[in-house]
Amino acid sequence: MPRTKSLATLIQHYGCERVFEPKTNKIPIVYNILNREIFNNRLKKPYISIRRIHGALGLFEFNPYATKHCYKITLHNKFKNFQEFVEILGHEMVHYYQKLVMKQNSAKHNKEFYSFKKKFKKIGLELKRIYR
Ligand SMILES: [Zn+2]
């Protein structure tokens, strides 16, 4: 991964034809860019885990009774390409924002969710409910 802070450069670097398998130690680079560009750095560091998920590419979970991680983002272990990975991470981060900042009880694909669509577009990303 190039040592750049630009998302466009990263997306260009990986291209759109290569399958992307996220590694835990590389996720913060992308997470921090999205947090800065889309969420004004208002998100904290969540717990992110990578595993094979059936029927989804990402999940956001909130568990107030968790002893360690109340906020958790889970990502699928394989994406069509790097861009898809970034879009899914961004999608789950919107749910995190809905919960953490907007204090919404159920993070759904509502009006507030789609209010981020413009900011996504601005940096070349799509915000959708379902990606495949
Ligand atoms: Zn969602």
Residue 73's CATH number = 3.30.2010
Domain of 37?
19-122
C-alpha 90 – ligand 1 centre gap (Å): 10
Instruction: Give dist(CA 75, CA 85) in Å, integer.
Output: 8
In a domain, 10, yes or no: no
In a domain, 11, yes or no: no
pLDDT at 127: 96
In a domain, 2, yes or no: no
Task: Report pTM.
Answer: 0.93
Q: How many residues does the chain have?
A: 132
β-sheet with 58-62: strand ranges across: 47-50, 71-75, 58-62
pLDDT in tens, the chain (132 residues): 655 568 999 999 999 999 999 999 889 999 999 999 999 999 998 999 999 999 999 999 999 999 889 999 999 999 999 999 999 999 999 999 999 999 998 779 999 999 999 999 999 999 998 766
C-alpha 93 – ligand 1 centre gap (Å): 9
C-alpha 103 – ligand 1 centre gap (Å): 16
Q: Specify the number of domains making up the chain.
A: 1
